[in-house]
Structure 1
Amino acid sequence: MTHPTSPDLWPESTTVVDGVLHLGGLSAPWLAQTFGTPAYLLDVPGLRRRAADYRRAFTEAFAPAEVSVYYAGKAFLSTAVARWVQAEGLGIDTASAGELATALAAGVEGAAIGLHGNNKSVEEIDLALERGVGRLVIDSLPEIDLVAARAAALGRRAPVMVRVTTGVHAGGHDFIATAHEDQKFGLSLASGAALEALERIVAHEHLDLVGLHSHIGSQILDPEGFAAAAAALLGLRATLVQRTGHLAGELDLGGGYGIAYTPQEQAVDIDALARSLAAACRAECERLGTAQPSYSFEPGRAIVGPNMLTLYRVGTVKPVRLDGGGSRLYVSVDGGMSDNIRPALYGADYHAEIAGRSSSAGPVPARVVGKHCESGDIVVRDVDLPADIRTGDLLAVPATGAYGRSMASQYNLVPRPPVVAVGEGQPREIVRRETVDDLLALDLG
């Protein structure tokens, strides 16, 4: 029994026995026969361990400051996942009425939930206030008046944070870097909009300023940006107390911690990151002469991403001659961009391995593609696969927990795959497979 290549790339319980991939002791062929393909397979013990590890790492590094960790539900959220991460001491960070309703349906108390969004509806704000959500993250100046008006109408004080655009630009692709000026999120520190928002909130009778928030991007592998953003927030906090006498109690430093998607990548060392970030925050507070705030963090991808893989079945295998000479094997699978849009959306790289048998054939350059009517329907752009790969083989693509299912579509009217939980009791669907009947039930003719 061995582990597959690059253990950081695969769910914790993944092993390979005579060439056959196993998850939680269950073979890929058995899982494929039982639940069908494509299917997202979630390693539940691994998910829970990573949730607990993130909470421990930040709590230990920032002690004696109070620390809260929120699971970023946008990565992948279901009622089962919400219950599992809550059991490990995490709250839930939501960004829509659907995510908020899912967390509440899982039994998560409102006080342990946050609500993000650059365009929150009245209905979303009212639901958050009625259910006692612990923080609404203000994203614009007009939203201050909207949240205050809804709080007044409901006879409440709204607990709010202000999302600050710090100018620290980090992350892989411009679509997922969220702290530069020219984008839709947050209030600019450089322009003075963030300070204006904070002063208005402090003065408002229906708003309670919980703290300041920053999120600098996603899939960040260099930790230096987090310290720079924290210093910017702490400086803004010091300015606010000088101008208003109000010392904001909490700093939320967001998430965005990178994971490995290919054998060449290495995930962020969260213990090292937490220690260095805590030291930077302590030093900055000492320099500014302000007391330490409490801190909160919002990992999502880093918790669920490595603990899920997608299992496909191979269909057509076709060699294609390349313009410069040589050839590439196009390996078509029974899913594609409808279950993982990230390669098509912003060129995300993935890895794939045969999961159902051993092979002694040599490797050949291959591209794993989906079944959709798009030339950009690519699952893995470049990967070496055995030359004898054939129709009916099982192919596993690791690190698909974020944002495979959460960004999945019904393009070409292809039903979305199930999410199968493995490793906690009997394997079971926690999100069932869609069917064509489901699609037709939405069609009112």
Structure 2
Amino acid sequence: MAVTTTNAVPTLPGHTSEELRSLLADNSLLHELSHGLGGPFHLLFPHRFDANADAFRKVFTQTGVDGRVYYAKKANKAAVYAERAAVLGLGVDVASHGELREALAAGVPGADLVVTGPAKADELLRVAVLQGALVAVDALDELERVLGLAAELARSARVLLRRLPTGQPHSRFGMDADEIETALRRCAGGPVEVAGFSFHLSGYDVQARADAAGELIRLCRYARTLGLRADAISIGGGFPVDYTDAESWRRFTEEQRPEHYHAEKTFSGGFYPYHSPVAGAAALAGILAAVPAGESAPLAELLRTAGVSLLVEPGRALLDQAGCTVFRVRGVKERDGYGILTVDGSSLSLSEQWFESEFLPDPVLVPRTARAPGVFPACVGAATCLESDLLTWRKVPFPSRPHIGDLLVYLNTAGYQMDSNESPFHELPLPPKVVIERAPGSAVRPRWRLDRHP
């Protein structure tokens, strides 16, 4: 779908799924939920999560690589995705005691958990060791605490040693070469099983991730000479999501200017790359096909030859098209040739604001009643008393003038957007999460239920 412009205001149409298109075509359920729930809400589509997980697994099958997918739970607090991970036999990546507890409650076995994050709390490490979870150790002092807990509990702890990426030497995560050497010597003969190595790498560069993975394979070979198991590496997440088509993104980035935003707002944090030609499971395939620096064979071949398993921890990519967020228009005013909408929620439900940025895909207007078309550019403000609380600073060219009671649907928000920053500011309730259950193509009206997570 190519981008269009009206009155020089650029638009950025987002990809939609079959499930959402069906709900938008017959929008009675959306309006009923808005009325019944009395405020903004999130829709969750677990079928899309299942399909994304299957796509990642197929890459491992097609490349002959022994791999394991761990869902990065921090990407969304909803219980349904952890429940689907348990049913599908996926692992889950947790970084807090609360996330670990929720994953176990969803039915994920302790041995299928990987515990990440820096400087983990003792309580988290204690439960991780008791449950047989894999612990990504970020520093030498953390390793000492794991060793102490393992000895105290008379259990063998399973660990990955996190390597500071040589390509990002200023990262606050991981251990440098000397620290890794110390950690390996400390683990030899201790109450730990060194399953292998991991890293935390910012960004979406395929080659950079392959290069770092190649280094971890070499570390596995070295660790084995010390008598350690070292047969797995984790490359974390960092699989981009494609929110819009290439032409729309190109036109938008070329045309957008400060005057297209309320108060001529600019964003020092830049924008997420809302179009990615290689996204999700395809990005994993690209990483496996890349030849790491210093090697002569693709990463997939290096893994097979070394007998090393590859662990991946996608969050956003598993949630692609797995949810959206719905607000009701509460007020409409016009100023200086554009509209200012007020909706029954806040920007805390669109967490891109956290990064001094904006969630750019156009929200979809769902009118309460039919009306004549006519482009109406408008920004979207929150129902709070903060001048800076806008869900969308951009003057979105809506296809008709929004009215009170209309709905705005923000697309593809399940990955990090809908609940990373949520807060009951002004004593407003948190938007509930509504699970939509229907097989694609079914003529039966969708069933819905509230997600188990409060």
Q: TM-score range by the shorter chain?
A: 0.7 to 0.9
User: Any idea what the Cα deviations from partners look like across 1:158-214, whole Å, max 9, x if unmatched?
Assistant: 00001222144xxxxxxxxxxx3334322235xx3334333433x251111011112
> Structure 1 pair 215/206, CA: closer, same or farther in 2 (3 Å)?
same
The SS at the match of 1:303 is: helix
- One-letter amino acid of the structure 2 residue matched with residue 187 of structure 1: M
Q: Distance in 2 between matches of 1:27 and 1:400?
A: 19
8 Å contact kept, 2:44–2:322: yes
> Structure 1 pair 22/300, CA: closer, same or farther in 2 (3 Å)?
farther
> Structure 1 pair 131/285, CA: closer, same or farther in 2 (3 Å)?
closer
- One-letter amino acid of the structure 2 residue matched with residue 160 of structure 1: V
TM-superposed CA distance for 1:312, in Å, is: 0.2
The SS at the match of 2:219 is: helix
Match of 1:112 in 2: 112
Match of 2:218 in 1: 235
8 Å contact kept, 2:209–2:235: yes
Match of 1:213 in 2: 198
Q: How does 1:210-359 map to 2 (within 5 A)?
A: 210-217=195-202, 220=204, 222-241=205-224, 244=226, 246=228, 248-261=230-243, 264=249, 265-267=274-276, 268-280=278-290, 283=298, 291-321=306-336, 327-351=337-361, 352-356=363-367
Match of 2:413 in 1: 400
User: Any idea what the Cα deviations from partners look like across 1:124-181, whole Å, max 9, x if unmatched?
Assistant: 1111112222x0110111001001001100001100001222144xxxxxxxxxxx33
User: Any idea what the Cα deviations from partners look like across 1:209-250, whole Å, max 9, x if unmatched?
Assistant: 0111123136x3x433322222232233344456x3546200
Q: Distance in 2 between matches of 1:50 and 1:213?
A: 23
Match of 2:158 in 1: 159
- One-letter amino acid of the structure 1 residue matched with residue 339 of structure 2: L
The equivalent position to 1:32 in structure 2, one of 31, 34, 38, is 34
Q: Distance in 2 between matches of 1:286 and 1:421?
A: 41
The SS at the match of 1:296 is: strand
Q: Distance in 2 between matches of 1:309 and 1:289?
A: 39
8 Å contact kept, 2:240–2:279: no
8 Å contact kept, 1:199–1:240: no
- One-letter amino acid of the structure 1 residue matched with residue 328 of structure 2: R
Percent identical among aligned pairs is 29
User: TM-score if structure 1 supplies the norm length?
Assistant: 0.81
Match of 1:60 in 2: 62
8 Å contact kept, 1:311–1:395: yes
TM-superposed CA distance for 1:305, in Å, is: 4.2
Match of 2:15 in 1: 9
Match of 1:193 in 2: 179
User: TM-score if structure 2 supplies the norm length?
Assistant: 0.79
Q: Distance in 2 between matches of 1:212 and 1:346?
A: 33
Q: Distance in 2 between matches of 1:161 and 1:261?
A: 33
> Structure 1 pair 288/11, CA: closer, same or farther in 2 (3 Å)?
closer
8 Å contact kept, 2:376–2:398: yes
- Which one scores higher on RCO, CA 8 angstroms, separation ≥ 6? 2
Match of 2:380 in 1: 368
What is the CA RMSD across the aligned residues, in angstroms? 2.9
